[in-house]
Structure 1
């Protein structure tokens, strides 16, 4: 009788790994902000950001790294994200939510990830963007 061979399981990659780690997340963030900065339909959401987008890009990148299971760059720098509280000073209604989501959907379409991953991300982003609304429509 042959000895039982231990079964080795291939670990499921984290979302961070599936997205390509920091380079993959940085590309998504860069594509997102490039769209927000260039597209006329995003003028409302763009106006809520500073003229120079580097700080916003970095904060979103740092946040997404930790949120996706990678390094907690954002928390190390700023503590708990408290997303809703940090966004309360900015008027976010349905139109701003939709502008943000449209830029994100287009940015996701530029990534080399499987459609199932893109759809999962878009659902999560929708839930968060919808929760961020703080003004009546």
Structure 2
């Protein structure tokens, strides 16, 4: 990854974002240790998948495709109806980190994403435990 290259470009663009998000939600469904995380989502995950794909595309430095369709992300406000404590944060992070590993996102891009995901997930917490 170069100083001028976005994470989006470094990991492979939209195809890799799609792969990452699909793997994330597949793991959430398949792995029992992500059950609490899965329970926070609707039965049909297609809208959740699309929103996360669109959001991550812009968040990683790719084109802004989320805002024109859904408005400002207002990430924390949109998640306030859900109890997000340490357990929920940690499940989300473990699921995303495993998805990154399974999608072969490595090196400095992976390190930067892991740090950014942690900071964002921790900021989303709205419950002390």
Question: Normalised by the size of structure 1, how large is the TM-score?
Answer: 0.88
C-alpha deviation, 1:22, in angstroms:
0.7
* Correspondence for 1:123: 115
* Correspondence for 1:105: 97
5+ unaligned residues in a row in structure 1: which ranges? 1-9
Greater Rg, structure 1 or structure 2?
1
* Correspondence for 1:41: 33
- RCO (CA 8 Å, sep 6+): is it higher in 1 or 2? 2
Kindly provide the CA deviation profile for residues 99-125 of structure 1, in whole angstroms up to 9, marking residues without a partner as x.
Answer: 000001100111233322111101100
Q: Provide the alpha-carbon RMSD of the alignment.
A: 1.4
Question: Could you tell me how far apart the structure 1 residues matched to 2:8 and 2:97 are?
Answer: 18
Question: Could you tell me how far apart the structure 1 residues matched to 2:3 and 2:81 are?
Answer: 42
5+ unaligned residues in a row in structure 2: which ranges? none
Matched residue count: 128
* Correspondence for 2:74: 82
